[in-house]
Structure 1
Amino acid sequence: MSTADLVGTTQAGTASAAHIEQTERHAAHNYHPLPIVLASGDGAWVTDVEGRRYLDCLAGYSALNFGHRLPRLIERAREQLDRLTLTSRAFYNDQLGPFAQALAELTGKDQVLPMNSGAEAVETAIKVSRKWGYLVKGVEPGKARIVTMRGNFHGRTTTIIGFSDDEVATDDYGPFTPGFVSVPYGDVRAVADVLDDTVVAVLFEPVQGEGGVVLPPPGFLRDLRVLCTERNVLMVADEIQSGLARTGRTFACDHENVVPDIYVLGKALGGGLYPVSAIAADDDVLGTVRPGTHGSTFGGNPLAAAIGHEVVQMLKTGEFQERARVLGERLASRLGALVGQGVLAVRVRGLWAGVDIDPALMTGREVCEELMERGILAKDTHGSTVRFAPPLVATEADVDLLVSALEDVVVTRLHRSRR
């Protein structure tokens, strides 16, 4: 693929083209980025190597909930960088305890187990669920099963993609780990039908972000909580993308006043600065973990703990949750007005939206390319769906700019198609 092909019809300059060519030559092609080379960021905005500014409406898949380079987080990270960054868990450090306590209090759980990436946190939740199943529930050794939801996205390890139904993610990577059964998302009856004495957990996303901000039916989370309690099965909520204020509440499960047995957290927990993830659960669940049975060289390191602790402190004020709620209402209202004008459907939860474009009009990729030309960065998924997740530090004017740009893209294409 040539540089010209990569740049396409955009007006990328010489510097951009050189960076793109270098990346395509030496970095594995596991992504298909838009032809833009970013060099700096501040708040909800980023600037490319040519000096053009863009509104970041992806926010690192919610890892940048607090925006780029939030001064409070930068200062805390810099302070810790000058003191201590890594010890391994072979020793105690002075940052992990305060972080663990703060996160436990935020989640209302007894303990946390810190890791690094979101996929590691999901793998940790799977392992802990199985161990709980054998040691507490009494499942026959080697027989534990976990229920998952179709359309899920929990990460990229071989175990996790083994229960994905996305062929792009799974093709040529098998064989996969057994012990999982998949049911339709949001169907509590389907979950009930597969629960037997071997099932130890139900793993789900309160909102399926990668799927296009897919919302479960009203009452699903509440009904699932009741079912899991009745059947003695762990309710495991993957809040890696949906948690930490993105949906207008601290956790997406809060929208139905539901508390899962295990929270799986990541992305925004690192403040957009550093990979930080964790699971949180009560003593009867995480108490099954013993020294040597699970670990991570970097998990719970002083730098990660310092940043994660600062993030938790910010969330305790409720400021970011309220911003997501208020800005989300504005986003939902303005996006809703586009339905019927090249937009088939809109789904919004807090400051997070999935927009289904009429596939006869244009693909999601084409929409994102057109938006980029108008100074808006977004990401497509599954054909003609586009996701929007601006940082929670965005303004009302930013939200209006994003919707106006989308309106210009789809309405312009709609008018052309009718000529």
Structure 2
Amino acid sequence: MNRRNFIRLAGGGTIAAATAGSLAACGALGSHYPAEAVEAWNGPVGETDLRRRAVAYAITAPNPHNLQPWLVDLREQGVITLRTDRERVLPRTDPLGRQILIGHGAFLELLVMALAQQGVASQVQLWPQGELPMVLKDWDERPVARITLQPGGQPDPLFAQVLLRRTPKTDFDTTRAVAPELLTRLLASAPASGQTALRVGGTVAADQLPALRTLCWESAQVELLTPSTMMESIHLTRVGPAEILQHRDGISINSPFVRAVAALGLFDRTQPPAEGSAAYKSAMGRFEGHSRTAMGFVWITGPNTRSDQVQAGRAYVRLQLQATALGVGMHPMSQALQEFAEMAPHYERVHQLVLGQPAPRTPRDATVQMFCRMGYTPDPAPPTPRRALAKFVRV
């Protein structure tokens, strides 16, 4: 069925709009997923092995497009080796693999915290066989990190937020400002400057928000209007309980309305919505709402080596755990940071706005690694699906 007939059948685009709007938000229209799909958020129930218990917490880490691109090797006693699942990357949206490695850093930080909670310290060696190449297509099987377990881990207060952490993918409440004091407390959760070359910053200043909101909105349009990046998201969309349970990853949609559309064979995954169509307008409206309702912004900057990318993920998940503790929502708006060709003007712009300097030209140049909006949501965000623990473990 072609798009024109689909929109006509949908009564002027209502169905198409609902579908594309959900997709654009990279989240669900409904807040309820099958219980098995979100069982990871109950913690490692019944798991006794301390390494597997730690991995069970780590798989709740935030990651791009909910790909969950982690593999852990437990064959060496007293060691956890972290690798990338090369089938779970984003060659169009993230051609250099930077966002994927930030997701690995988030996993690594939760893993270390979960081990410490069990009285186990971690000696983390990044890139024991050398860094992955700078182009995604050249990646191989070399590990991202080798974690050696040692006695004496000290529990981290932020660990209490691990299973409560959520990423809100809805409009924020514009009647509730984010206080400067809260921003200060949030930024204090990042690693000390002496431990990493990364820096964290942010703003809730009313005179700075409009330019940053516009950046989010304009860069989101580029991702939606670039067929290759939009189709990458469409191919990762899971509609209804059966698909969500089958995959337990990607972009999950479980609203009754969209499920009915899919059951009728009307959920078109062969092409992006046409510019100017009702589907297009709904998708744009959703992203515009997210951008315009940002009540503050937080960012992580620093060099752009592979190690820095992993460390950025470790810092980011700590920020989000602290945001959880403080009761404020924190949602990445990463479009302007994506390194595909069509995004280049906005990549330049985000570096000018955040760092006051041009976009990086070498891995040693200052780079905006994470860029997130902040605010308060009317309703709690739901947990997102995670695959079963066994899918991540190699023994």
| Fold-level similarity (TM above 0.5) | no
Normalised to the residue count of structure 2, the TM-score between the two structures is 0.23
| Alignment TM-score, normalising by the size of structure 1 | 0.22
Select the structure of larger CA radius of gyration.
Answer: 1
Higher helix share: 2
Higher relative contact order (CA 8 A, sep 6+): 2
